[in-house]
Amino acid sequence: MKEFLNFINGEYVRNASGKTFQDINPVNGSVIGNIYEAGQAEVDAAVAAARAALKGDWGRLSVAERCKLLDAVAGEINRRFDDFLQAEIADTGKPHHLASHVDIPRGAANFQIFIDTIKSTATESFNMRTPDGKTALSYGVRVPRGVIAVVCPWNLPLLLMTWKVGPALACGNTVVVKPSEETPATATLLGEVMNQVGMPKGVYNVVHGFGPGSAGEFLTQHPGVNGITFTGETRTGTAIMKAAADGVRPVSLEMGGKNAAVVFADCDFQVTIDTLTRSCFENAGQVCLGTERVYVERPIFEKVVAALKERAEAMKPGLPFDHDTKIGPLISKKHQAKVLGLYKTAKDEGATIVTGGGVPDMPDALKDGSWVQPTIWTGLPETATVVTEEIFGPCCHISPFDSEEEVLGKVNANRYGLATAIFTQDIARANRLAHQIEVGLCWINAWFLRDLRTPFGGSKQSGIGREGGVHSLEFYTELRNVMVKF
């Protein structure tokens, strides 16, 4: 049995209360270990350590010295690649090929990209004449925001945590990370890396627990926190935004989505089906940018449905390290119950079930895992529950359309606005639509293609703020103005 301790001021600590909860392997329902839940005392200690580090050795480092440490962090993650890989797979159950090609490499790359960003970002300066005929030079200075609370999701635990920790530390802040209660391992393991490379104590802290009445609430309400960055569901993000209003602290929130794909009859069919297979079913549909609504121009509607059905039925569930495994389990039995409940709702509301809709037949050793079938529906109106509500499972509803104006109205008729993918060889049409669809990210003939220098974030109820490249600096630093008269 493993123990997942809080990491505070460079040391692993349990808690004053002795309260623990279990880390469960979603593949078979087995217990991985016990997680020590942080209470108010542990959160207070973590924030105090982070504040002290700002005034200590960390706060005195130059940009070059900070970047040297962060480069060492990236190198150590890569050196311990297998340790991080095993930890991530145990927590999430995702297939080896996915975690090894996406989660862990990006976890390290997130430090590297922001090293390059902070080294090359300039601030503005202006010369002006003063009323008495002299000269004034006005220039900008970026300073760290302070202590950043990093609240992370369970679907891509290392990747999405380092996506926030990387720029926060590159900009000179300190962090207190609250990983999801479902996936504590890699955030905890990163504490060993921080110590190994000589990161000053208090720069990186981890507190484990839940949301209300636990570490999440204690951290986001803490007056010693200067900014809060969060990825997760809209309901939690709304609560965090309310908490941040007390003290007028900035937030960066990437929240829920009900993402659409728009497929025109002139698309490259093979590329489209390959891409939709990934966007609808990869990571068992547990990707914030994943596709749950597919709109297909009527001449190829039946062809797309048939092709995607074939792909869904070929996605073999199984053990993460089996070469033939194409899809893993959902994160937990709780989430499985939610997804299966929505599968039932789709049936009750009159959906045509093209494939799936239940739990796959698994071997006895895996029957206690959190498995669901990749599922495709057709035939529902735009007001149906599974067409409007985020499911976060391996599923999609496919519906036909006849005109550009019609599909644009359907795509935008949702309270979320995170991402969209457009498939067509008419680039003028694709760009025209991309300008009108109300989302933060739009792909043309692609999905999950990311240049980490570009802005990332959602519109409407999918979030507020942008991170990535220089855009991260708008949240992780404060821009001050200095005026010199001479």
pLDDT for res 34: 98
pLDDT confidence bin for 453, thresholds 50/70/90: very high
- What would the two tokens of residue 254 be? 């990437």
Our count of domains for the chain comes to 2
Which helix or strand (DSSP H or E) is residue 442 part of?
strand 441-444
Please tell me whether residues 173 and 296 are part of one structural domain.
no
Instruction: Say what the pLDDT of residue 12 is.
Output: 98
From the list 182, 218, 257, the residue with the least C-alpha distance to 4 is 182
Are 406 and 468 part of one and the same domain? no
216 shares a domain with 301: no
Model pLDDT, residue 224: 98
117-165 tens-digit pLDDT = 999 999 999 999 999 999 999 999 999 999 999 999 999 999 999 999 9
What pLDDT does residue 215 have?
A: 98
Q: 66-92: per-residue pLDDT in tens?
A: 999 999 999 999 999 999 999 999 999
* Residue located via tokens 């995170």: 418
Q: Quickly state the pLDDT bin for 180 (edges 50, 70, 90).
A: very high
User: 206: how many CB neighbours lie within 10 A of its CB?
Assistant: 29
CB 176 within 8 A of CB 169: no
Domain-embedded: residue 449: no
- Average confidence (pLDDT) over 255-284: 98
Is residue 310 located within the same domain as residue 400?
A: yes
**Domain carrying residue 52:** 2-255+462-485
> What is the average pLDDT score of the chain?
97
* DSSP label at residue 29: -
Separation between Cα atoms, residue 174 and residue 11, nearest integer Å: 16
Instruction: Examine residue 268 and state whether it is found in any structural domain, yes or no.
Output: yes
Write out pLDDT tens, residues 363-393: 999 999 999 999 999 999 999 999 999 999 9
Q: Residue range 304-327: average pLDDT?
A: 98
Residues 380 and 235 in one domain: no
Distance between CA 157 and CA 159 in Å, rounded? 6
Query: Per the domain annotation, does 191 fall within a domain?
Result: yes
CATH number for position 406: 3.40.309.10
Element (H, E) at 301: helix 301-313
Q: For residues 148 and 164, give the distance between their C-alpha atoms in angstroms, rounded to a whole number.
A: 9
Same-domain status, 227 and 287: no
- Could you report the per-residue pLDDT of 33-70, keeping only the tens digit for each? 999 999 999 999 999 999 999 999 999 999 999 999 99
Q: Is residue 207 part of a domain?
A: yes
Question: Is residue 340 within 8 Å of residue 359, measured between CB atoms?
Answer: yes
| For range 243-262, the mean pLDDT | 97
pLDDT level of residue 287 (50, 70, 90 thresholds) = very high
Q: Are residues 413 and 299 in the same domain?
A: yes
pLDDT of residue 92: 98
pLDDT of residue 146: 98
- Phi and psi dihedrals of 245, rounded to 5? -65, -30
Q: Is residue 83 part of a domain?
A: yes
CATH for 239:
3.40.605.10
- Residue 169's nearest CA partner among 250, 249, 276, 54 is 54
Q: Could you tell me if residue 456 is inside a domain?
A: no
Residue 451 half-sphere exposure toward CB, CA atoms < 13 A: 8
**In-domain check, residue 454:** no
**At 86, which amino acid appears?**
Q
250 and 271 both lie in a single domain:
no
- Please tell me the predicted confidence (pLDDT) of residue 305: 98
Active-site residues: which are they? 254
Q: Are residues 246 and 113 in the same domain?
A: yes
Average pLDDT of the segment spanning 465-482: 96
242 shares its domain with 326? no
Question: Does one domain contain both 292 and 321?
Answer: yes
Contact of 308 with 274, CB cutoff 8 Å: no
Q: What is the pLDDT of residue 443?
A: 98
In the DSSP assignment, the letter for residue 13 is E
| Residue 451 located in a structural domain | no
Task: Let me know whether 467 and 408 are in one domain.
Answer: no
Contacts with 262 (C-beta within 8 Å, 6 or more apart), sequence order: 295, 401, 407, 411, 420, 421, 422, 423, 424, 433
Nearest Cα neighbor of 66 from 133, 13, 111 is 111
